[in-house]
Amino acid sequence: MDELSLSKPDVQIALLVVLATAFLLLILKFVSGKKRGNTVLLVGPCNGGKTTLFYCLKDGSTGAITVASMQENEGWCQVRNDKDRVVGSVRVMDLPGHPRLRSKLEHYLKNASAVVLVIDSADITPNKTEAAEDLFEVLTHPTVARRRLPVLLACNKSDLETQAHSVDFCRRTIEKQLDAMRKTRLALGGDAGRAISALGKLDKPLSLTALRSPITAASISAEKGDVSEVVRFLAKVM
Ligand SMILES: Nc1nc2c(ncn2[C@@H]2O[C@H](COP(=O)(O)OP(=O)(O)OP(=O)(O)O)[C@@H](O)[C@H]2O)c(=O)[nH]1
Ligand SMILES: [Mg+2]
């Protein structure tokens, strides 16, 4: 009886320690899983309009004269609400689309809070491979997959009315290409370290709207300053 009453507090303390440790571990897991970087990345194939969009977001300029980027542009963009009131600012980085400079994407994704994939909606068919490759790199990046970073597919150049494809067409084109790419990459087996499971179950056709990282698509015209969908996206991820 004596022995039992002596050991009771010890058991209680031990239980408390175990519970407190489990609780702390749970909190740590939650915090590290949700922790995001602080930069929104503009990525996508050459000529999609990333730099034009960057300057439009940064200083509201439209029709900026650009040349193919050889290095990143970085700046803070003010975010406005629907009533045009400034509600904060977001760090935005415009990455060059040139395939030789694309390796930098891997590095910047570690500190990204969200990604905007900018594509030329008038020229999506010849650029679908590059666009899908970029999306593959983004979505299967271990950090992106773990943090479930939001992605916006910005279908740019909507002002080219007769040539620009619809958002739905662009999304489906990239979806198909990404599906084919994941099969090929898996068959080749060269994707060690990539979170392929982030692209959904293999026995089902890939669907961009049903992935772990939420993907939205919008029609924009960076040249004409019609970028409200991007601003709305920035406000959400701020
Ligand atoms: N019609 C139209 N042209 C645009 C639009 N946005 C960009 N452009 C043009 O598309 C071309 C490429 O734009 P950039 O912003 O340099 O493209 P980028 O994605 O930064 O290209 P890289 O730096 O090579 O990766 C330029 O001639 C722009 O003027 C748009 O919304 N509408
Ligand atoms: Mg550029």
Q: Residue 194, CB half-sphere, CA atoms under 13 Å: how many? A: 16
Q: Could you confirm whether domain 37-237 is CATH 3.40.50.720? A: no
User: What are the distances in angstroms from CA 199 to CA 2, 32, 95, 211?
Assistant: 61, 22, 23, 6
Residue 224: its pLDDT value, please? 95
CB atoms closer than 10 angstroms to residue 72: 15
Residue 172: its pLDDT value, please? 95
Q: Whose CA is nearest to atom 1 of ligand 1?
A: 157
Tell which residue, 167, 172, 97, has the closest CA to residue 137: 97
96: left (phi over 0), alpha (psi -120 to 50) or beta: beta
List strands edge to edge, sheet with 39-43: 73-80, 86-94, 39-43, 112-120, 151-156, 215-219
CB of 121 shorter than 6 A to ligand 1: no
Cα four-point dihedral sign 174, 176, 177, 183: positive
Q: How far is the CA of 78 from the centre of ligand 1 (A)?
A: 21
Contact, 222 vs 156, CB < 8 A?
yes
Question: Which residue bears the tokens 């930098």?
Answer: 104
**Which residue among 94, 223, 224, 227 is best mutated to probe the pocket of ligand 1, counting the most ligand atoms within 8 A of its Cβ?**
223
Burial class (CB in 10 A: 0-12, 13-18, 19+), 75: middle
Mean pLDDT by 10 residues, the chain (238 residues): 63 91 82 69 96 94 84 91 86 91 85 95 96 94 89 97 94 95 82 79 87 91 95 90
Residue 1: its pLDDT value, please? 46
Q: Measured from the CA of 118, which atom of ligand 1 is nearest?
A: 19
Q: Measured from the CA of 65, which atom of ligand 1 is nearest?
A: 29
Residue 214: its pLDDT value, please? 82
Helix (H) or strand (E) holding 115: strand 112-120
CB atoms closer than 10 angstroms to residue 40: 25
User: What are the distances in angstroms from CA 184 to CA 53, 107, 124, 187, 188?
Assistant: 33, 24, 21, 5, 6
**Which residue among 53, 66, 163 is best mutated to probe the pocket of ligand 1, counting the most ligand atoms within 8 A of its Cβ?**
66
